Chain A
């Protein structure tokens, strides 16, 4: 009994003694964390490729900032908000975290934004799409970098309506992201004088979409709005083709990554309109990045990979310009700088945290039009950042209307 009490006391002393040591160790380096889905359904969209992009950015910056070595921490949030938030908290408390990159999944990113505000750590969302991150869930330390549901809807829904698709029926993933995407698209459709006929909420990861698709077809709408992502998107489009639904309805993909098109194949995906924040084959700069990325990962980068690279460079430049890693000073610097690199031209971070940059409305090529591997999109229209992300809504208290 006595011994065990001594053991406990010794352990406690050990723990207390260890704390300042950890904090001191963290002071000699700059720490960037990346919490993402590394093993689940979104792992190919960013995942390990995102970590690679972060490392590329650090190497290109020279490996140090303010004379300190830059280290990277990574973790798998397994699409669970509690895991993401507690890992973030742990790194902020024990590892001296200076910047966190949030990977895929809007739900997890909302949970992590709350930690960013509490711990005062700059937090850049890369892979998640929910526009609530810069509205009701915004914080003074959040940046939403690559795309959001508003921009996706503005791009794809407008393109579909211009092509004559006036009445819409939605296949919506039944969680935060799906609902936000459907709402954003519905607004755009209404503004342009179109009609929202109906929607069916599909549980995430459904095994079979045919039944929901027949309901969509029975609605008589002209456009099939796919407010889902990843495997759900691919499987629903595949089934829509198989059941001949694409002959009577035009599918509108509200969120597509190039990896989805790669797995579906052009025969199934051809003609599809989509909105992208970046495409590897836009110009020489994007192709140069893609070539380096391909050499490491053996596939072309998604907009999230390019975004992760750009976000890290942008933050490192801000740290260098501010001469400190102090979160408030770095955030102020970030919101002052213009972003000019292979990801964005003239991009800037708005008061609500949205990174405003050009978005691209794309159409998937036919198998005949595609001339080389991964030659999948043709550019239909460039949208200015202001058009894509829309005006400040006033919902975020940091950015009054």
Chain B
């Protein structure tokens, strides 16, 4: 295989890996801090993309503002979901949370399908990110380069906040021993609601980032979220750093598969998941 081809596929793999990393990060935050397996994650990603699209069509909100507002709006919706529905299921088998969020995902997707149909709509690439950069081995559209940059910055700042700051320490304490933390005067329910909202906002952010790349339609999240779950399992359920690193790495692996044996490109992640589960059941970065 010629070197330019390898470099080209590496770059594209990194773009896809960026989406995986952002989405699996949100899932890992929610699972790590709350123990909820959030099957509605794909639906929130789709909602993020639709929020950007409708904001542009009806309110004239541009891409950069949407990047801020759409995750905020969807994150608030997440807080509502946590306060009204999810919180009643704490202390029960995690299966209940999974079923609830799965049901939510079906409702969201079904409603979007009903209103907007199946074919999807185009979101224009913002003017300032149009065109391509000549990397000599390939032409990389500026927008895709921006996706990599944005994702890496967001992922590592989230990791930093949770693992290295006082706020993050409080969040982690809430998961370890909530009653004790509450005894110190910390509002634990608020913290939990905020972390669900935060995780969901990350999914919405990925949705906004994806909207100029793919057609915005009601199915876009369903297809992606299954792969992302495999990414989280490989990285180790609840491991923040694990989800980021395995997201990026699996994007690269998938990119190579697309050249070597394209027919297998949509199952390679699952094959790796099976292998990892056999060798290290807690995932690559998980604690046993």
Contact = CB atoms under 8 A, between A and B. Distances in A.
Task: Tell me if chain B binds chain A.
Answer: yes
Interface of A: 39-44, 47, 174, 200-203, 205-208, 210-212, 214-215, 218, 230-231, 234-235, 238-239, 242-244, 259-260, 262-265, 268
A205 B214 CA distance: 12
Nearest to B113: A39
A214 B10 CA distance: 12
Interface string B102-130: 00000000100100011111100100000
Contacts, number: 100
Contacts of B258: 211-212, 215
B211 to A, nearest CB: 12
A44 B119 CA distance: 6
B193 interface: no
8 contacts: A39-B118, A43-B117, A205-B223, A206-B266, A207-B224, A214-B12, A243-B139, A263-B121
A174 B263 contact: yes
A40 B265 CA distance: 22
Contact of A40 (B118, B120, B121): B118
Interface string B166-178: 0000000000000
B138 interface: yes
A207 B144 CA distance: 14
B218 to A, nearest CB: 10
Contacts of A265: 122
**Most interface-central of A202, A208, A230, A264 (chain B CB within 10 A):** A208
Q: Report which residue of A39, A42, A207, A244 has the largest number of chain B beta carbons within 10 angstroms of its beta carbon.
A: A207
Given A206-B265, A206-B266, A242-B143, A211 B122 contact: no
Nearest to B261: A201
B255 A230 contact: no
A262 B215 CA distance: 12
A203 B118 contact: no
A244 B259 contact: no
B8 interface: yes
B224 A244 contact: no
Contact of B214 (A174, A207, A218): A207
B277 to A, nearest CB: 23
Residue from the set B15, B16, B122 with the largest chain A CB neighbour count within 10 Å: B122
B224 A263 contact: no
Contacts of B9: 211, 214
B75 to A, nearest CB: 24
Contacts of B139: 243-244
B186 interface: no
B124 to A, nearest CB: 9
Contacts of A211: 9, 12-13, 255, 258-259
In the A-B complex, the 3 residue pairs with the smallest Cβ-Cβ separation, listed nearest first, are A203-B266, A211-B258, A43-B118
B143 A208 contact: no
A235 B224 contact: no
Contacts of A201: 262-263
B223 A207 contact: yes
Q: Which of B5, B125, B258 has the most CB of A within 10 A?
A: B258
Interface string B202-228: 000000000001110101000110010
Contacts of A39: 110, 113, 118
B119 A231 contact: yes
A249 to B, nearest CB: 13
B168 to A, nearest CB: 31
Contacts of B223: 205, 207
B118 A212 contact: no
B141 interface: yes
A251 to B, nearest CB: 16
Contacts of B15: 208, 210
B120 A212 contact: no
B16 A207 contact: yes
Q: Which of B5, B13, B215 has its CB near the most chain A CB atoms (within 10 A)? A: B215
A235 B224 CA distance: 15
B215 A263 contact: yes
Given A231-B215, A231-B217, A208 B16 contact: yes
A72 B263 CA distance: 40
A207 B217 CA distance: 12
B214 A214 contact: no
A202 B8 CA distance: 18
A357 to B, nearest CB: 26
Given A207-B16, A262-B119, A41 B262 contact: no
Given A43-B113, A203-B263, A208 B215 contact: no
B8 A234 contact: no
A214 B117 contact: no
Contacts of B13: 211
